[in-house]
Every structure is written in structure tokens, then in C-alpha cells.
Structure 1
Amino acid sequence: MYTDASDFAFGGVLMQDQGQGLRPVAYSSKKLSEAERKYTIYEKEALSQIHHLQLWRCYLQGAPRSTAYTDNAVLKNLQTQPRLSPRQARWMLVLQEYNLYVEYIAGKANVVADALSRRPDLAMTVVIAHQDSEWLLELKESYEKNDDAKKIIKLIQNGTSRDYAFDHGYIVRRTPTRTQLYIPDVGTLRHDLLIEHHDSLLAGHFGAAKTGVLLSRHYYWPQQLRDVREFVQACQECGNSKSSNQKKPGLLKSLPIPKRRFEVITMDFVTKLPEADGFTAIMIMVDKLTKRVFLAPTTDAVTAEEAATMFFEHVVRNQGVPSIIISDRGTQFTSVFWKSMVAQLGIKHKLSTAYHPQTDGQSEITVRIVIDLLRALHYQYKNWVKILPAVEFAINNSVNASTGKTPFFLCYGEEVPTPTSINLQFLARNNPNQPSVDFAERTQVAVQQAQRALVKAQQRQKTYADKNRRYLTFERFKLPCSVAGNVEAQTRVPVFHIEKLKPFVVSTKFTSRSDRRPPPDLEQGSDVYNVEKILNRRSTRRGRGWRIEYYIKWEGYPMCDSTWEPKTNLQDAGTEVQRMMQEVDLQHNT
């Protein structure tokens, strides 16, 4: 009986000699419990022996002589120890039932029991190395097919190579810190390594820097990092799933500053507010030059006709017809009624880019200010509709950060009176330092100052914004297509902003990176894939029997997508697949 234990499990094998050498009778392995993991290594080895003695009692009890081999020499003295712990005393009672001799065996000779006590996930490297032996054989054969490899071999043989040498028949590059296997540019050798170090499950689809470091631990070829960078840039999985860590593309381009007041009006809606007096939304209209704000209560289901009515009541009636209206792509502003209205009035309607609210940043900022004021006053005034005129007055009476003046001053040439200033107007009339200019001149000067302030504000905003953005150019081209006719869309097509687009990278060296994985052939309702090559064969335990499985390289898929498939899945795959199965079976049997 050979036994062994590790920190996670123990294993054993029972063998018998009937004149033809030792032959296995039974195998066993068991995972240690949480309490058993706390045992000392001496106790774990002893526990392994006791467990297997009880497990194979029908074979060992009554035998004239049984020998237990272990790689822990201390166990030989268990039966002769003068003092035992309670646990060891219980084990001694079990040992007395057997005519057992304990013999020491070196750990490297206790092969079977040692393997049974190992964790299978840690032993997978052995399986992988065995499967890669065919690739290593292909690597060695590739030296004769590559001129660079032949030159390196000649330098090594002449003793004139500083960096390269032979190691077990392979060309290696030796540096002060590592030994790297040289990979010639033959077939798919480099491509297979790049896939394993970037696309595989354990590689993690990292960027070029991390992939390059991982690959260079054991492999080398000239301009390796350049190939890694091109390979990673052409990875479709990375392009589709990873978030960009680059600066946003496109520099800030400010809208032109209006030349007169109420020339450009921006519009937006605040929706889903608590219902008050039947209203649940606010229509916001802002003059782009003076920053004058108009607020009108409405509902979430506001129509284009209702929006037009509020526009006339608040803007047109008091300030005239604007030249330009800027808004988002809400249903009110894209309706036939609204388009007809602005066309009849001679207004140019500019719609913001879909899912890009930065186009109308002025309205978005005003929306935020209105919501903040309503939230701050909500606890004192529950009905937001009643305080909406006061909110509008407060915004228009506050200094705008861009113009440096209040919207009221730019509209009227002076500040409007407030409850705290209405009784102090005599102070301004008696001020000898205040210039005596007429209303028109004062207003014109204020507007010019506001325009200059807006220019400086836009320059300042552009400087800050462009720090986190990058200049980007696209090659202009025309798609080679023709219009067959008008298509009536039955469903709403998903819309996204151009900022979400990224260039599709085509690798000229790794052409397979630009090809999408082929779809399955649908036959009789099931997914059928084409077999390119059968790489290996194995037998796996299934209940009381064994199942034969084949390692399949799928056509059009990289090596990392190869899978083990049972023989039953390949029975109807065709004569070519049957021929490949027979070849692998022949290699396996020999």
C-alpha cells in the first residue's frame, strides 16, 4: 500500500505481487476537510494510512504480511512511541488489527500516490505541456524553412553569436534576466502564440503593453512589440467590449455669438416633476445673447401646438420673432406642425445631434439651475407652479458668469427694482460720478460688453474642454452603393452619437483578425460547425465506463476556441472527419 498526503488531499494505491511484479488493485484519493487541513504534515500522512487501511480492509485484514510505503520517515516510529496523543491512540487501535509493516520510500519514487494527492487544477500545466509537444515539434522543423533561423544556427555553430544558443535542440536567446525561445516567421507559429497570450481565457484580452510583457517572458522574435501592437489593435472583442481610456475625440467648437438680442432662442423641457395644478413639466426658452430665461408650466404629454402657443405668449409677444431656434430632437420639434410654423415665420430651426446634449449646453445648464432652485424651495413652497414666476425673476436678476451682467440689464439697460432697492433709487439719481447717457446708448454699450465677455468665456471654456479631448480626422470617402428605393421602417432604429464610433482596424499582417468568426450552418434546427483539424484524443471516466473525446480545431476559429467533443457528436460529420478520427486513433494506439 502506497500512500501520500498534501495540504489539500491524500491519495493511495493498493498493489499486489503474484509472481509477475506489482500490479494495481485499487486507487483512492480524498479531499481534506477544513479541520483535517489544520493537522501537522505528520498527522496528515498518518491519517492517509488509517483511511486506506479502513477502505481496503477486505484486502488487508488477515493477510500474512502487508507493507505500507510512505515518504514520511516519522510514521515508522508511530507504533514504538512512548507517548501518544488521543488521536494517535485511536489510530493505534486501528493499526493493531493488521499485520502491517511501515517502510520509508523517497517522495520522488512514490509517484502514483503523490499524483493522487495533488490538486488537479495545479496539474493542468502538465496536460497543457503534453498537448503542446506537437507545436514544439513544428517549431523545430521550421528552422530549416526560415532564412533568419538558418543564419542564427550558423552563427551558433561558428561560436560567433553573443545572444543566441542551442538548448535541447531549440534556438534560445539569453539575456541577463531570462531565456527566451526564438520563434521564426514560419506558418502560424507567431500567430498562435499571440492568440494564446491575448485571446485565451488565462490571457485576459489585455492591451499591447501587458500582452507584450507576458509574451516576452518565454518567447522572442525581432520587432515583437510592433506585432503585438498590431495584433491587439485588430482585436474585435477588445474593440466591442472595452471602454476607451483615450481622451474624447473632437475639439470643442463653440456656436457663433448672436449679433442682436433675441436673435437666437434655445428651447428644452423639464419633465416628470411632481404634479401641481395639473402641470408636470416646464418649457424653458433662453435668449443666447442676454441669457434671458422664460419659464412656462406644461405637461409631460405636451404637443407641438401647445409648445408653439407658449413660444408666442412668452417670446414672440414681448421680443419679436427670432432668426434661429435651437432645440433637441423631441417629438414636439420634429413634428410636421412645428416645421410648418417655423417655415412660415422664416425661422431657421437647428436640431441638436442625437444623444449629444452638449450641442445645446445653454438649455441644459438652465435646466439644472431651475431644478436646483425648485428643489431648494420645495420644502417651503409645496406648489412649484405658484413660485415658477419668482424662479424666473431670480434667474434673470442674477449675474451671468459668461456675460458678467444680469439678463435684465442687457434687456432694459438698467437693473430692475427689487423689494430691497425700490426705496433707494434716489441714491443713483444723486450720484455725480454716474455718467448721464440715454437709455439706448447705455443698452448698446452693455450688449457690446456682453458680446466681448461671451467671446472670452468661449475661449476659456474651449481651453479647459480641449485639455481632455483630442484632435481626430477621418478620411472622407463615398460608399459604393446605389439607392434601390424608399424603405418604410417598421421598427424604431437604434440611434447613437458619433462619439461612440471607433475606427475598425484592419491588420495587413494578421488578416484573420479582421474576419469575423463564421456563423454556424443551420441544418435541421441545430448548430453545425465545420471541423478543420482533429488535434488530439483522450478517454474520460463517465460513471462506470469510459468516453472517447477528440480535441477539435474549428474552421475559421482561432486555436483558443478549440474544444473537446465526445465521439458521438462527430458520428454524422462526414467521411473527411471520419478519416481524421482514424488517423488520430492510429497515432494514439501506437
Structure 2
Amino acid sequence: MDLPPLSFNASPEEKWDEEEDPEEIENVLKVVPPAYHQDLDVFSKVKAEKLPPHCACDHHVKLEGLLHPKKDGGFRLCVDYCKLNAVTRKNRYPVPPMNQLVTVFKGSTFFSKIDLRDQSSLQYFMSCKVLTCRQAHWAEFLSEFHFSIPYRPGRLATLPDALSHRDDLYPERGVDFKVLLQDKDFKELLNQLARGESVSDYTLEPQAKLLLFNDRVVIPSNHELQLDMYQKRRDSPLAGHPGQEKTLKLIKRDLYWAVMNQLIKDYVSSCQKCSRNKNIHHKKFGLLKPLKVPSGPWNSLSMDFITQFPLLRSFDSILVILDRFSNMEIFIPSYSTSTALDLAQICISHVFSKNGLPIIIKLKISIELSTAFNPETDVQTERVNQILEQYLWIYVSYHQDDWHTWLPLAEFSYNNSEHSSTKQSPIFTIYERNPSFDSINIPQDTPLGKLSTKLQSVQQVVKKELDSEINLFKKYADRNRETPSDLQPGDRVWLASKSVKKTRPTKKISERWLGLFEVLEKIGSHEYHLKLPQQWKSVHPVFHVSFLEPVKQSTIAN
């Protein structure tokens, strides 16, 4: 049983009372730590052989004992000599007297079995009266010499003792000449220096067994030795996994070997811990791939949900429907738990009944057309979400209990505003007129044929402006992007950690990249299917190329 350490005071003059006062035992409960209460019943027993030991002991010779409480709050050391005789060999390995044991252990930290130090009994060897045959043989041999065998506890060995230390445990220093001689590049150089010849930039330190190059230790072309230098000078917590330049400067301070620049660059670039935890500073992979401009109004739709609104009339989210041609928006109160059937019913009521069935419906959550965590395919809806949220911030009440009543006005405000891409408002693009803010509506006598022709011309201008806007947007977006390497099935990649929900307490000091993962196939022009572990069954295995980083293979063995 493991118990916390205690201190005790004992002396050989004190005697053990066989009968304990009940009041004294009650006082003991107050001074004995709670961890010992379950063993207090043994204190009332007077036979030492019945006192069980408190904890295990690994020594081959041991003395079983127990602490007994005293009136002054201290503890008395009780020893079971019967069990002591059972675990020792009588008349062969005698133990010191009890009074000497108590004197030695007085004031020390308690342990229930007193360990008899190895070889401590030798100090009584020459004065022992009863010897075994084996001991008598050595006693006769040693009687010819005048010596004494004092016992020195290990706690007194505060200074280094050469006789008690193994020489094979000392750390190795320097590079043995035998290792250097195996390197053909240094064999002739060492021979020249050994003959006393002067070699430029090289010196020899025979005492330290080191070859120096400009006061830096020369490391031979030994792969294991160089790899050990990499790990000690770069991978240790004192170095902190620095980059290529800092690693090179750290190693160059006092070490040198041939072609070290290229080898260090290779080692650092292929370090998996750095690849997993450090940020990537190159341009984002994957050029922008915008959607094609629709041929007319309400032919292509984009939809998105804005969630986490206060619950009002069972509504807790907003469904945003965008006509990608005219930029006209429809804001509809909805539910975060809406199913595909609910979404279809909303589209029938608010879109199809007024504008007909669109040619293309682009859903952001569609697996086939939009990659997870990559909303750049269609930034129109993302921008509309920001504008709607800003509008609601300004006009909703302090308690935010009227946000759904402002959606029709926010919809009108957005659709009546001129857009930079089309140079006109969505309402004008659809109806070829801008609505009036006045209470008096001025009628316009325009023939129906002229209106149709004018609408077609307006829509052609809008399409041309949208094409120009998308090309310009792609041009500026691709400035901060680069064409990714063409990954093949079987290649291994790192996966950006932001694309997977993690369980660690904070992402601030979490790894930036996860992996390694194998590429199974290429899907489309910018997406790849990865082989994920079994515990990631809930994660969709298709990722945009911007979330992938190819693994840099090292040319250094092992």
C-alpha cells in the first residue's frame, strides 16, 4: 500500500506500552493523516508478527516494521524480528542491532520496510563470532592483512567517485580518427597534418582527436553522424525547428562538412513536424474558376442560408435566393432544420410561381458543384449575405425581436441599388425602369413592342458588363494564386486543418496541416478525392486543391 511519507522521532530508550489508552487512540486520529486511518486498527495489537507491512520493497534483504503513535504526537518504530529472521539467513548474513538501526534512521523519512544497504554487513565480517564454511575460508585469507571495512551510505557520495562510476556511461566527445580515416576526402589530409605539413584552413587537435576547419569541427561523410547533428542542432527544444537559413547558421557556428548547404535545405524542407505545424507562405494553389454568365434573368440561381438568428415565429434563419444574371435577391424567413422538400416548396412559392423554372439551380451545398470550405465558386451570395447582415444591424431593435419584419424592406433596398458589375439596379435589369419613392406613381405610355426590344438591349448590355466584370475579377484574383502541381493517384499530401473540425482545446497552438493522406483520384479541375482514416467517416473526402500541400520527399536516407 503506498502511503505519503511521514517523519518520526525514535530512540532506543523508549519502550512500547502493550496497553493503549482509548483516549490516546482518539487523539491519534487527529494527528494521523487520513490516508492512514484505514490501518489504525493494527495499532492496538501487541504482537509484532501480526503487524502487516505497509508497502512493497524491491531489496532482497529487508526489515519489516510499522510506526506506532506516541502521546507527544510522534511515532515509534516497531520491528517484527520474527519475520526478519524468516527473510534473512540466520548465522550467515547477520544484521546490525536494533538500537543501531534506530539511531541511523532517527529523524529520517519513514518507509515501512527498512532497507538494509547492500554489503553493509561486511563491516561486521571480521568481528563475527559464528562463521559459515565459506566465510571462514575468506576470513583466514583476510587475516593476513591489516585493513578495515567501513560502510559509507550512498547519501554521502556528494562528490564524484571514479571507483563507483562506469566509464562506459560517460558521453563521447569529439570524432574518432578511425571514423575520419574511413572518409576518402580526409584520409590524405590527415596524413599531411600528421607529417607536420601545413594545410590551408585545416588544423589538427590530437588531444581532443578533432580535425578543425577554420576553428570548426569537421564532420566526415558519415550519414548517421550527420543525421545526429541535424537532430541535436535543429530538432531539440532548445533549437525549436528553425528554418533553412537559421538552421544553417546554427550548424555553421562550430561544425563543417562538405555539401552541407544542400543537405540542410533537403532536411528542413522534408521535416514532417515543420510541414504539419508551420504556415505555408507560397501563393494559394488553384486559379479562380468562376461560373459562366447566365444567358438571361432567372436562368441560374444561387442559394444560401444565414443561420443563428433569434427564434421568432419558429423562424431562426434566412434563405437568400440570388438571380445571378440581374443580381436580384429574395430574402425569405426560414428554418435551420429545413429539408430538401421544404426548400423545394419555398422555391415553388417565391421563385417558380413568378419567374418560371430556372435552367440551372446552383446550390452551395451541392457536392457536385461546390467544394466544402471553398465558397469562392460564386462570391455573389457571400457578398449579399454581408450586405443583408449590415442592413439588419442598423434597423433591428435592441432586443432583436423584429428582424423578420425588415426582410421585405431590405430586399427592396438591395434590388433598387445600382451594382458595379451591371452599372444598374436589378429592378431596372428585369423591368427596364426604376421604382419611385414618391407616393404619386407617374404612368408611362410605352408601346409593348418597344418595351420588349428595349429590354433585350438592356439585358445584352448587362451580359456584356458581367462578362467583363468576371474576367477582371479573375485577373486580380489570380495574382495571389499559382497553378498547382498535377497530383496523381498514389501521391501523398498534407490537408489543411481548417477543413476538418478538431477536438483540441484551441486552434491557436494546434497543427496547421494534417496527414499524411493518399490521393485516390482527381475530380474536376480543382478537386481531389483523398483516402481518409476510418475515424473520419463523417468528413467528405473531396477537397479543393487550395487545401492540399504536396509532401516533399527527402533524399536523405532514414
- TM bin, normalised by shorter chain, reads 0.5 to 0.7
Equivalences for 1:307-318 in 2 at 5 Å?
307-318=343-354
CA 1:137 to 1:155, structure 2 compared with 1: closer, same or farther past 3 Å? closer
Identity %: 27
State whether structure 2 residue 378 is matched by structure 1 residue 360.
Answer: yes
TM-score by length of 2: 0.57
Residue identity matched to 1:294: I
CA 1:318 to 1:239, structure 2 compared with 1: closer, same or farther past 3 Å? same
SS of residue matched to 2:265 = helix
State whether structure 2 residue 266 is matched by structure 1 residue 254.
Answer: no
Equivalences for 1:33-72 in 2 at 5 Å?
none
Residue identity matched to 1:357: P
The structure 1 residue matched to 2:462, chosen from 425, 450, 454, is 450
* Equivalent residue number for residue 428 of structure 2: 409
Residue identity matched to 2:213: R
Alpha-carbon offset, residue 506 of structure 1: 2.2
CA 1:459 to 1:155, structure 2 compared with 1: closer, same or farther past 3 Å? farther
The whole-number CA distance in structure 2 between the counterparts of 1:369 and 1:187 is 61
CA 1:323 to 1:423, structure 2 compared with 1: closer, same or farther past 3 Å? closer
CA 1:196 to 1:262, structure 2 compared with 1: closer, same or farther past 3 Å? same
CA 1:158 to 1:312, structure 2 compared with 1: closer, same or farther past 3 Å? farther
Residue identity matched to 2:181: E
The structure 2 residue matched to 1:281, chosen from 288, 313, 317, is 317
The whole-number CA distance in structure 1 between the counterparts of 2:292 and 2:519 is 36
Equivalences for 1:203-352 in 2 at 5 Å?
203-329=239-365, 350-352=368-370
The structure 1 residue matched to 2:484, chosen from 462, 465, 472, is 472
* Equivalent residue number for residue 180 of structure 2: 143
Q: Which runs of 5+ in 2 are unaligned?
A: 1-157, 159-167, 492-517, 521-533
Alpha-carbon offset, residue 398 of structure 1: 0.6
The structure 2 residue matched to 1:173, chosen from 196, 209, 213, is 213
The whole-number CA distance in structure 2 between the counterparts of 1:302 and 1:266 is 17
State whether structure 2 residue 396 is matched by structure 1 residue 378.
Answer: yes
Deviations 1:4-47 (A, max 9, x none): xxxxxxxxxxxxxxxxxxxxxxxxxxxxxxxxxxxxxxxxxxxx
Alpha-carbon offset, residue 481 of structure 1: 12
CA 1:187 to 1:389, structure 2 compared with 1: closer, same or farther past 3 Å? closer
State whether structure 2 residue 555 is matched by structure 1 residue 508.
Answer: yes
The whole-number CA distance in structure 1 between the counterparts of 2:196 and 2:450 is 100
SS of residue matched to 2:319 = strand
Residue identity matched to 1:209: E
Deviations 1:429-463 (A, max 9, x none): 9xxxxxx9922232222222222222232233223
Residue identity matched to 2:372: A
Equivalences for 1:110-125 in 2 at 5 Å?
none
CA 1:155 to 1:258, structure 2 compared with 1: closer, same or farther past 3 Å? farther
State whether structure 2 residue 262 is matched by structure 1 residue 198.
Answer: no
CA 1:303 to 1:256, structure 2 compared with 1: closer, same or farther past 3 Å? same
The whole-number CA distance in structure 1 between the counterparts of 2:392 and 2:551 is 46
State the aligned residue count.
348
Matched-pair contact (CA < 8 Å) for 1:269–1:281: yes
Alpha-carbon offset, residue 494 of structure 1: 2.8
The whole-number CA distance in structure 2 between the counterparts of 1:448 and 1:231 is 58
Which has the greater radius of gyration?
2
CA 1:438 to 1:222, structure 2 compared with 1: closer, same or farther past 3 Å? farther
Deviations 1:145-166 (A, max 9, x none): 0111124435656856433232
The whole-number CA distance in structure 2 between the counterparts of 1:481 and 1:250 is 17
The structure 2 residue matched to 1:494, chosen from 539, 542, 553, is 539
Matched-pair contact (CA < 8 Å) for 2:418–2:424: yes
Matched-pair contact (CA < 8 Å) for 2:299–2:358: yes
Matched-pair contact (CA < 8 Å) for 1:327–1:360: no
Q: Which runs of 5+ in 1 are unaligned?
A: 1-115, 117-129, 335-349, 430-435, 483-488, 513-590
Deviations 1:283-312 (A, max 9, x none): 111011111111111122212221111111
Matched-pair contact (CA < 8 Å) for 1:277–1:385: no
CA 1:438 to 1:164, structure 2 compared with 1: closer, same or farther past 3 Å? farther
Equivalences for 1:421-432 in 2 at 5 Å?
none
CA 1:494 to 1:152, structure 2 compared with 1: closer, same or farther past 3 Å? farther
* Equivalent residue number for residue 20 of structure 1: none
The structure 2 residue matched to 1:183, chosen from 206, 219, 222, is 219
Alpha-carbon offset, residue 384 of structure 1: 1.9
Alpha-carbon offset, residue 354 of structure 1: 1.3
The whole-number CA distance in structure 2 between the counterparts of 1:247 and 1:504 is 16
Alpha-carbon offset, residue 425 of structure 1: 7.4
SS of residue matched to 1:237 = helix
Which structure has the highest helix share of the two?
Answer: 1
